[in-house]
Chain A
Amino acid sequence: MAEAADVQRTNRWYGIAGVSFCCIGVGVLAGSPVLVLAGVVAVGFAFADRIDSEPNHAIDISRSLSTATPTAGEEVTVTLRITNRSESICYDCRAVDGVPPALAVSDGSPRLGRPLAPGGTVTTEYTITATRGVHEFDDCWISIGNATGTLIRQFRVPVMGQSSVSCVPPAPQPVELALYGQAVGSTGRIATQSGGSGTEFHAVREYRRGDPPSRIDWNRAASTGELSTIEYVRERAATVVVVVDARAQAYCNADPDGQPAIERAIAGAHAITEGLLRTTNRVGVSALSPTECWLEPSTGDDHRSQLRKLFGTHPALQPIAPTEPYLPITMLTQLRHRLPSDAQVVLCTPLADSYPALAGRRLMAHGYPTTIVSPDPTISVDDDSDAPRVAVAALERAERVRSLRNDGIRCLDWRDESIQVSVERAVRRWSR
Chain B
Amino acid sequence: MNVLDVENLTVEFPTRRGVLRALDHVSFSIAPGEVLGVVGESGAGKSLTGAAIIGLLEPPGRIGGGQVLLQGHRIDDLPYEKMRRIRGKQIGAIFQDPLTTLNPLYSVGRQLIETMQTHLPLSNADARLRAVRWLEDVGIPAAKQRIDAYPHEFSGGMRQRVVIALALCAEPRLVIADEPTTALDVSIQAQVIALLRRLTQERGLSVMLITHDMGVIAEAADRIAVMYAGRVVEIGGVAEVVRHPSHPYTVGLMGSIPVLDARVERLRQIEGAMPRLNAMPPGCPFNPRCPRTFDRCRDERPELMPARQTAAACWLYA
Q: Do A and B come from one complex?
A: no
Residues of chain B touching chain A, judged by Cβ–Cβ distance below 8 Å, are none
